Structure 1
Amino acid sequence: MEDNRPEWGKGCSRGCILPQRVVVTIFGFLCLICAYTNRVSISHVITKLVVPLNRTLDEGREEACPKDDDATSETTVNKGEYKWSEQMQGFILGSFYIGYLITHLPGGILADKYGAKWVLGICMLISGLSTMCTPLAISWAEEWGLIVIRIIMGGAQGPVFPALTALLSAWVPAKERATLGAFCYSGVTAGTVLSNICSGLMLHYFHWRITFIVFGIVTVAWFLFFILLCTSRPDQHPCIKPSEMAYLNEQIGQRVKGKLPIPWKDMLLSKAMLACIISQIGHDWGYYVMITCLPKYIADVLQFSIRSNGFVTALPFLAMWCCTILSGWLADWLIRKGKMSMDAERKLFTFIAAVGPGIFTVAASYSGCNKALVIASFTIAMLTMGFYYAGQKLTPLDMAPAFAGTIMAITNGLGSLSGMASPPVVGALTPHATMHEWRIVFWLGLIILVVSSIIFAIWGTAEVQSYDPSYTAEKKQ
């Protein structure tokens, strides 16, 4: 790529402390934090909106755990405003994924063909504005207003992962892919942690509307900085250093030129693509059950207070975030030192990220009201899930860098079926929110996670596919 930057751009590059590929990765990380605070906060707010369950025992039902002192006082002060059933709450939590599924593929195609910057930026702006308007939607039409605004938000966030993947494909070399890619995608977990902690605190000290307003404003601020400081490709950035431009041109320059036709037939009929889709669906089932329903389990079964709920549900995701960062570094080290092939590393990490969460969530359901043991089990479960982002999540970048956004759109989009289905299924399986009912939910999750990871281990791959333009070059190397 030629250095076509203006003179002022060549001068400003001398003031840059971090490489621009790191800056772009950081903005991707912050993007996912904003996306998930927008998405996940409803899981806490809904516990404040609805009338608490009547825990009077009926024949055949389990008694919930003893309440915290704070939870008892909160129930007295806050009796909820809306009488939404567990099934309706499940539908509300899952409605986000209706819009999310629809916009994945168009977003991925647009990002691959025309660049990721404006696709990502505009989508996040709409997400932030939708979050800010959520209180108005609830006041306007109660549950149906909330469902409509959640579908709009989901539609706005559908292109986020495909666009981010296209952005990383243009900026991050293969030898740094696990470290920078895992860090970027760890924004999912960091956003969940911040959402849980901040939602719990804001719901305890302020009105529930403040939660949506704060998260929405932060997202709009991210949009403004992102548009000013980032570009879709290295050759478009006015302040990139010549040394970094030369490095990226050598490593990935041939992958960021032109608008190539998408090889739909070869892509969709490959076993590797099928395995990637199934693995994504399996992982997403386990993860979405945790991010959307864990606050309800903590509130309804363990009966923590709202403030404690925020901190307690943040702990497992904080462990997952730490593991994600470390596993990205570990993956690159294993591959760089020749101790494992990239293909073997991706499969091993994906398997760990499925079996660990499945086993330990089931263990949590057998821990009764031993709250410390339950939280420890959930924490270990999410810790092991952190390996996923240095595993299957990177395979769209591995398989076809030129079409990474489109592949991510297909896999992540179909994975969102789990997000759409899991909350209503959980609501149907837990009408009385008892431990026994939740145990069935976690056993189902274990089966889905393990089966999907086995399929990926058999048919999945991290090798460049024949339909990608870089296939011939990779073979020569």
Structure 2
Amino acid sequence: MVNNSEKNQPEGGTLLEHPELTSKRKPDSDLIRALRSCCVIPQRYVLGLIGLMGVCNAYTMRVCLNLAITQMVNRTRGETLEHLDRDTCPGGEAAPSNATAGVAYRPYATFDWGESTQGLILSGFYYGYAAGQLPGSHFAERFGGKWTLGLGLLSTAIFTFLTPMVIKLGGAGSLFTLRVLQGFGEGPTMPALMIMLARWVPPHERAIMGSLIFGGSQIGNIFGSFMSGILLADNRDWAYVFYFFGAFGLIWFILWSLFCYSTPDSHPYISKKELDYLDREVIRAENKSKKDPVPWKAILRSPPAWALVWASIGHDWGYYTMVTDLPKYATDVLKFNIKTAGFLTAAPFVAMWMSSFVFSFACDFALRRGWHSIKTGRIIYTSIAKLGPAVCIIMASYSGCDRVAAMACFVVSMALMSGFYSGMKVNALDLAPNYVGALVSFCNTLSTFSGIVTPYLIGLLTTDSTLHQWRIAFWICFAVLVGTNVVFCIWAEGEQQWWDDVRQHGYPEGWRHGSLLDDGDEEMIDTAIEKKTFEKP
């Protein structure tokens, strides 16, 4: 069989353009030729940089409420039990000086929301986020990742900007509904980005590019927590937080619209050199099986796909526990003031972002040297990202009221969690480069229920915000992280699965679950199997 790169490689070694792609390209105008000549930076790196900013933008809008809500409610957990329960830390920076200081201390805290109500509000985002995964994947495959992702985040930015007005008009119920809509707008983010990366990034660059782009989540957590702390300091109105991050989202959308495109072929001024390189190196879904339906029957019966689902559930449980509830732990348990809490809750994500590059470089280096297989690498770094944090959060819970020791444990926990970028996060690209959007949306839909459950569950478990109550919540997180890691280690794979390209690989022996393709295509595959050869469409 002759592949596309071999057909287009003449004896002299100069790569010729793929004939199908050449026929689709329009003649370049003078302006486009000028832009191509000025295009010094490879456009996949431009996509990586603005994609990083997009993920950062998504996470700032997701997490800004986590800190703001501590200044919106007119009471703080644990204040009334401080003198009664030995498991409640003594008053620190956050504690009011007298019984009547609570109102003056938070002048804009006008809402009387209990812990279960706060937990429900914080979980609202993830209802919409889960619901937006599969539609987002479908629209990204059909209309391209650029506008599916861009318009989704634009809607979230607008909703973020409108948050103060909606809260004042409708209270907790309206805020919950708005958070669901925000989550739905962000639902297409990861499937659309994965679809774009599958078309833009060669396999040997995926760990580094994945760390670059998806590290934006940590920058978003850092920026969101740090700026929220500054904006909320000195008794400022919490509404400024939502205005600031909503405006940031609008600016990002302009940059995304101008400089990023769904595929290399649709990019108007990508250099010929880079376009030819990507034509040669990237396995492209649009060149192989674009018209084929998503093989859900096979995906739902695939052990590696379910291993990835369980790995995602475990990771999200630990991650959302940190993202959503660390600000509350810092203010309500460790009693930091809001500005210090904003800084300290950003610190673990700084560590996670920085260490992600260490793990990604180590993973790609080891793969290039042949020190371990892709499968082994994914298992190693996923295990680091699960077992390390599981131990660290338990150590933090037993650090008691030692603020320095507790925060140090949280920082180390998140630094180790960054191993997931080189492990399970890019594993979907290994398993299904042609259907990565569908696989990622499937995993995210199920794993996002962790984001729904954890804030509400922790709200129920920590009604008095004592160390003992939080310790129970952290032990549950430990069990989820360790258990899901065991599942991933047993059933994980690192190679393209047969159902991702049934035209090339055919059906496995014993497959009894019907066709994945049209009847005419099935006859073609049966003929190819009999001849012991497979032709790419």
TM bin (shorter chain): over 0.9
Q: 1:329 to 1:470 in 2, by over 3 A?
A: farther
1:452 aligns to what? 484
Change in CA separation of 1:5 and 1:411 when aligned onto 2, cut-off 3 Å: farther
Deviation of 1:384 after TM superposition, in Å, equals 0.3
Q: Residue 18 of structure 1: SS of its match in structure 2?
A: coil
The one-letter amino acid paired with 2:173 is W
- Which residues of 2 match residues 364-383 of structure 1 at below 5 A? 364-383=396-415
Partner deviation per Cα, 1:132-164 (whole Å, 9 max, x = no partner) = 011011101111111011011011111111011
Partner of 1:228: 258
The aligned amino acid for 2:142 is: K
Q: Does 1:87 align with 2:110?
A: no
Contact 2:284 2:434 in 1 (8 A): no
Matched, 1:32 2:55: yes
Matched residue, 2:430: 398
Deviation at 1:352, TM superposition (A): 0.7
**2:155 matched to 1:132?**
no
Q: What corresponds to 1:154 in structure 2? A: 183
Structure 2 counterpart of 1:241: 271
Whole-angstrom distance in 2 between the partners of 1:4 and 1:330: 42
Over 3 Å counting, the alpha-carbon distance change for 1:256 and 1:329 in structure 2 is: farther
Structure 2 partner of 1:251: 281
Alignment of 1:307-346 (within 5 A): 307-346=339-378
Higher relative contact order (CA 8 A, sep 6+): 1
CA distance 1:228–1:260, change in 2 (3 Å): farther
Q: Is the 8 A contact 2:384 2:419 kept in 1?
A: yes
TM-fit CA distance, 1:56: 3.0
Residue 91 (structure 2) pairs with residue 67 (structure 1): yes
Asked if structure 1 preserves the Cα contact closer than 8 Å seen for 2:307 and 2:492, the reply is yes
Supply the distance in 1 between the matched residues of 2:43 and 2:75 (Cα, whole angstroms): 49
1:246-285 paired onto structure 2 within 5 Å = 246-252=276-282, 254-257=284-287, 258-285=290-317
The separation in 2 between residues aligned to 1:315 and 1:59, in whole angstroms, is: 30
8 Å CA contact 2:198, 2:429 repeated in 1: yes
Q: Are 1:182 and 2:248 counterparts?
A: no
Distance 1:375 1:197 in 2: 15
1:6 to 11, 20, 28: 28
The residue type equivalent to 1:65 in the other structure is C
Which one has a bigger Cα radius of gyration?
A: 2
1:5 Cα deviation (Å)? 5.5
Pair 1:408-2:440 in alignment: yes
> Which structure is higher in helix share?
1
1:310-337 per-position Cα deviation (integer Å, ceiling 9, x unaligned): 0000101110011112212221111011
Counterparts in 2 of 1:220 and 1:59: CA distance versus 1, 3 Å: closer
Secondary structure (helix, strand or coil) at the match of 1:56 reads coil
Does the CA-based 8 Å contact 2:93-2:335 persist in structure 1?
no
Deviation (angstroms), 1:114: 2.8
- Kindly provide the amino acid, as one letter, of the partner of residue 59 in structure 2: Y
Structure 1 partner of 2:44: 21
Deviations 1:67-94 (A, max 9, x none): 3446547854216211111111100000
Deviation of the 1:58 alpha carbon: 8.2
Corresponding residue for residue 101 of structure 1: 130
Q: Secondary structure at the match of 1:469?
A: helix
Over residues 279-312 of structure 1, what are the superposed CA-to-partner deviations in whole Å (9 max), with x where a residue is unaligned?
Answer: 1011100000110000000000000000000000
SS of equivalent to 2:434: helix
Note the alpha carbon deviations across 1:177-234, whole angstroms, 9 max, x for none: 1010121111111100110100000011532111101101111111111111111000
Find out whether 1:298 has 2:330 as its counterpart.
yes
Q: Assess if the C-alpha contact under 8 Å between 1:358 and 1:445 holds in 2.
A: yes
**In 1, distance between residues paired with 2:460 and 2:159?**
28
Q: Which amino acid aligns with 1:77?
A: Y
Give the direction of change, closer, same or farther, for the CA distance of 1:442–1:470 in structure 2 (3 Å limit).
same
Contact 2:198 2:283 in 1 (8 A): no
Partner of 1:42: 65
Query: Counterpart of 1:421 in structure 2: which amino acid?
Result: V
- Worse overlay, 74-83 or 191-200: 74-83
User: What one-letter code is carried by the residue in structure 2 that aligns with 1:42?
Assistant: L
Q: CA deviation at 1:471?
A: 8.4
Partner SS state of residue 52, structure 1 = coil
Code of the aligned partner of 1:432: D
Structure 1 pair 471/329, CA: closer, same or farther in 2 (3 Å)? farther
- What is the SS of the residue equivalent to 1:355? helix
Partner of 1:123: 152
What is the SS of the residue equivalent to 1:35?
helix
SS at match of 1:320: helix
Find the residue that maps to 2:334 and give its secondary structure. coil
1:339: how far off?
Answer: 0.9
Q: Which amino acid aligns with 2:71?
A: K
Secondary structure of the residue aligned to 1:467 is helix
Secondary structure of 1:222's match? helix
Q: Secondary structure at the match of 1:294?
A: helix
Q: 1:374 to 1:254 in 2, by over 3 A?
A: closer
The range that moved more, 56-65 or 74-83, is 56-65
Shift of the 10–313 alpha-carbon distance from structure 1 to 2, 3 Å rule, reads same
Q: Which moved more, 1:425-434 or 1:55-64?
A: 55-64
Output one character per residue of 1:315-373: Cα deviation in whole Å (capped at 9) or x when no partner: 01110011112212221111011111111000110011001111101100100111110
Q: Is the 8 A contact 1:62 1:435 kept in 2?
A: no
The offset of 1:255, in angstroms, is 2.9
Give the whole-Å Cα distance in 2 for the aligned partners of 1:360 and 1:314. 17
Other structure's SS at 2:52 match: helix
Asked if the contact 2:150–2:257 (Cα under 8 Å) also holds between the matched residues in 1, the reply is: yes
> Where does structure 1 lack aligned partners over 5 or more consecutive residues?
none
TM-score by length of 2: 0.85
2: CA distance, partners of 1:87 / 1:275: 32
Give the Cα separation in 1 of the matches to 2:82 and 2:406. 25
Within 2, Cα distance between the matches of 1:6 and 1:339? 45
Does structure 1 residue 195 correspond to structure 2 residue 224? yes
Specify the alignment match of 1:386 in structure 2. Answer: 418
Contact persistence 1:57–1:63 (CA under 8 A): no
1:431 to 463, 467, 473: 463
The alpha-carbon deviation at position 113 of structure 1 amounts to: 3.0
Shift, 1:433, TM fit = 0.7
* In 2: Cα distance, 1:256 partner to 1:190 partner: 32
In structure 2, what is the equivalent of residue 78 of structure 1? Answer: 106
| CA contact 1:64–1:303 (8 Å) conserved in 2 | no
Q: Is the 8 A contact 1:171 1:234 kept in 2?
A: yes
Report the residue type matching 1:33 in the other structure: C
Confirm or deny: 8 A CA contact 1:55 1:63 kept in the other structure.
Answer: no
Which consecutive unaligned segments of at least 5 residues does structure 2 have? 1-20, 506-532
What CA distance in whole angstroms lies between the structure 2 residues aligned with 1:179 and 1:167?
Answer: 15
